[in-house]
Amino acid sequence: MPFASLNALTSPLSAQQVQDLQKLVSQLNPIQQAWVSGFLAGSAQTAGVQLPSVAAASAAPSVLTILFASQTGNAKGVAGKLKAAAEQLGLSVNLQDIASYKTNGLAKEQHLIIVTSTYGEGEPPESAVSFHKFLFGKKATALPQLNFAVLGLGDSSYEFFCQTAVDFDSQLAKLGANRLQAPALLDVDYDSGAATWQAEVLAKFQPLLQSAPQAATTAAAPGSGHASAYSKQQPLVAELSVNQKITGRTSTKDVRHIEISLADSGLTYQPGDALGVYFQNDPALVQAILTATGIDPTSVVSLDAVGEVTIERALIDSLELTQSYPSFLEKYASNTGNSELQSIAADKTAAREFLATRQTLDVILQYPGSLTAQQLADSLRKQQPRLYSIASSQAEVGEEVHLTVGVVRYDAFGASHLGGASGYLAERLAEGESVRVFVEHNDNFRLPDHDTPVIMVGPGTGIAPFRAFLQERDNAGATGQNWLFFGNPHFTQDFLYQVELQDYLKRGVLAKLDVAFSRDQAQKVYVQDKLLAKGPEVWDWLQQGAHLYICGDGSKMARDVHEALVQIAVNHGGLSAEDAAEYFEQLRESKRYQKDVY
C-alpha cells in the first residue's frame, strides 16, 4: 500500500501530522518514498518500536522504465506513445533518454522496455553508445530480477538492420534477464507494427506492475519543455522565403541556403535541433513510372492512414520513390513474376549492391512487368520526412528557420537523378510557396554555458548547426572561445558562408578558423589533417574544458576525425591508445563530446 493510503489505517498521528505527512509524500517519487520508508522503519527499530504494517504499506509501487535511443526522433516518439498507453492502464512509468540514464541503476530495475534505432554499420545511435558499451563491458552485472522487452527501428536497406536492438535483447538475456516479449525489428514504415507490439508487450507487463497515481511516479515526456501545436504528425504549413545557391557555378556540389518563415506559428527551436521536411515527389518522375508500368493515373488505391486516393496522388504525396530498399525489390519482383529479379532480391548482399545506384524508376525500366495500381502501391513504402540540421538561431533570425541543403544529384543509366526532399526544396518549390515542416528537438547536441570554449568540426553541410551556434553565442555576448574546422573541395567554389565566417573571425566571435580545401593542392587535405596539425592547441583547449562537436558524414569523416583526436591525446597528452579512447568516452558521457552525424 503506498503512503497516500495511510489515512485508511488506524493512525497514532494527529490529524495535523497526517496532513503534513501526506503533503510531504505527495512531493516524493517512488524511490524517495522507499528511502523514507526504510529510514522511518530503521529509526523505529532503533527505538524498539515494531511497525510492520506501516513498513509493508509504504513499499513503493513497481515502475516500468522505458528508455529510448533515438537518432532522428522516431524512437523517442514510439517511446512516448508507449508511456501514454501504459499510463492509461494505470501503470507507473519512468521515461528517459538512454543518454541520461544512470547505468548503475540497471541492477535495481525490475521492468524495462528499450526502444532503439540503429545507426550506420550496425552501431548504436550516439545517445546510446555509453549504455551499449556498459552492457557489453566488465561492469555489467547479472540481472535475474529484470523483466524486459526491446523494440528496434531501422531501415532494411542497410546491412545491419536493427542491430542495436538485437544487441540489447541478446545481451540482457545473456545477463540473466527475463525476456517478456520477443523483440520487434521494424522497418521505416513502422507505425502499425509498433502499435501491435505495444499492445502485446503491455499486456504482459501489466500483471507484474502495481497500479499507482500517475502524477507521483511518471517522468516527463520526451521533448518536455518544447511544447508546440506542431509535430511530425501535425506539421506546420510554412512559407519558403529564400532559396539561394551558395556554391559556385563550376562547383561539383549544389548547396542551397534555405529560409523558411515561421511567422505567427509560435514554433520555436534551439541551436542543435533539426527541421523535418515533408516533400512531394517530382510529377515527371511519377508520370515516367506510370508510363513504364502502363497504369492509369486515375486508378484508385487504398493506403494505410490515408484512405482511397488515385495512384498518381499516392505516388506524388505519400510513397517513397527516390530511396531504394530491399522490400520494394522483393515485392515488385513477386508481383511481376520476374525470376531474375527474384533471384537478386533473395541475395541480401546482391540486392544492396543492385540498389546502391538505382531509384524506383531504374528498377522498373530495367525489369518491366505487368502489375495493378494497388500492387504497385503495396510494393512501395510510406514516404518519410527528411531531417536537416538547423542552421540558424532564433536569437538572430526571429520567426525564421534556416537550412543548409546539399542537393542530391547524379547521372546514372542515361538519366539525371535528384534526391526527393533536396530536389523538392532546390528545384520544385518556388519562393513564396508552402512546405510542411516540424522541429525535431535534439537535447544531445547542445551548447554549454556561455563561458565554456567549444571546438566545432563541420565540413560540407555539416557546418549548418555551427552557424546556429555562432549566431547564438554572438547574440548572447558569450565569453567562451569558439574554434571552427571547416572543409570542402575548393576555396573559390565551396567556402560556405565565407563572408559570415570571416566577419565572425574579424570581430572575435570566432577565435580560430581552420579550413581544409581538399582539392586545391596535389595532396588532399581534410579536416582531420588540420586537427592533427593543430594538435597541441586542440589538446590544450580540451584540458581547459572545451566542448567538442562533430557534424556531417558519419560513415567516414566522423570516424577519421575521432581517430585524429585519439592520436592527439596520445601525441600531446601522453596517453596510451587505450587510455586515449577511454578519455573521449568520458568526454562523451559528460556531454563534452557530441556528434550530429548522418
Let me know: does 415 contact 364? Beta carbons within 8 Å: no
Q: What is the pLDDT of residue 55?
A: 34
Let me know: does 465 contact 390? Beta carbons within 8 Å: yes
* HSE-CB of 327 using CA atoms within 13 angstroms: 20
Question: How far is 40 from 345, CA to CA, in rounded Å?
Answer: 66
C-alpha pair distances (Å), 284 with each of 290, 360, 384, 386, 545: 10, 13, 20, 21, 53
- Residue ranges of domains in the chain: 3-52, 64-217, 236-279+385-440, 283-379, 454-597
| Architecture (CATH level 2) of domain 64-217 | 3-Layer(aba) Sandwich (3.40)
Burial 380-407 (b: 16+ CB within 10 A, else e): bbbbbbbbbbbbbbbeeeeebbbbbbbb
Q: What is the pLDDT of residue 226?
A: 58
Determine how many CB atoms are found less than 10 A away from the CB of residue 40.
Answer: 14
Give the residues of the chain that fall short of pLDDT 50: 1-11, 29-35, 37-39, 41-60, 212-225
Let me know: does 166 contact 132? Beta carbons within 8 Å: no
Instruction: Annotate 486-551 with DSSP letters as a single string.
Output: EEES-HHHH-TTHHHHHHHHHHTSSSEEEEEETTSSSS---HHHHHHHTHHHHHHHHHTT-EEEEE
Let me know: does 32 contact 217? Beta carbons within 8 Å: no
Question: How far is 462 from 468, CA to CA, in rounded Å?
Answer: 11
pTM recorded for the entire structure = 0.83
Q: What is the pLDDT of residue 20?
A: 65
Q: What is the pLDDT of residue 28?
A: 53
CA 40 to chain centre: 44
Let me know: does 418 contact 427? Beta carbons within 8 Å: yes
**Quick one: which of 253, 245, 311, 190 has its CA closest to 517?**
253
- Fold agreement (64-217, 283-379): no
Give bridge partners of residue 64 from the DSSP assignment. Answer: 93, 111
Burial 324-337 (b: 16+ CB within 10 A, else e): bbbbbbbbbbebbe
Instruction: Annotate 256-315 with DSSP letters as a single string.
Output: EEEEEE-TTT-----TT-EEEE-----HHHHHHHHHHHT--TT-EEEETTTEEEEHHHHH
| Architecture (CATH level 2) of domain 454-597 | 3-Layer(aba) Sandwich (3.40)
Q: What is the pLDDT of residue 24?
A: 64
* HSE-CB of 534 using CA atoms within 13 angstroms: 21
Let me know: does 456 contact 483? Beta carbons within 8 Å: yes
Let me know: does 362 contact 436? Beta carbons within 8 Å: no
Q: Say which DSSP state 592 is in.
A: S
Question: How far is 87 from 212, CA to CA, in rounded Å?
Answer: 9
Instruction: Annotate 37-54 with DSSP letters as a single string.
Output: HHHHHHHHHHTT---HHH
Grid coordinates belonging to 293: 508500368
Q: Say which DSSP state 10 is in.
A: -
Question: How far is 386 from 404, CA to CA, in rounded Å?
Answer: 13
Grid coordinates belonging to 384: 518519410
**Quick one: which of 493, 476, 492, 497 has its CA closest to 484?**
497
All residues at 6 or more sequence positions from 283 whose CB lies less than 8 Å from its CB, including other chains:
316
All residues at 6 or more sequence positions from 368 whose CB lies less than 8 Å from its CB, including other chains:
292, 293, 336
Whether domain 283-379 has CATH 1.20.990.10: the reply is: yes
Domain at 236-279+385-440, CATH from 3.40.800.10, 3.90.950.10, 3.60.21.10, 2.40.30.10: 2.40.30.10
Phi and psi angles of residue 449, each rounded to the nearest 5 degrees, phi first: -65, 165
Q: What is the pLDDT of residue 156?
A: 84
User: How many helices and strands, by DSSP H and E, does the chain display?
Assistant: 24, 21
Would you say how long the chain is, in residues? 598
As a dihedral over the C-alpha atoms of residue 449, residue 219, residue 83, residue 98, rounded to 10 degrees, the angle is: 50
Q: What is the pLDDT of residue 71?
A: 80
Question: How far is 375 from 372, CA to CA, in rounded Å?
Answer: 5
Q: What are the tens digits of pLDDT across the range 60-80?
A: 458 999 999 988 889 999 999
Let me know: does 595 contact 550? Beta carbons within 8 Å: yes
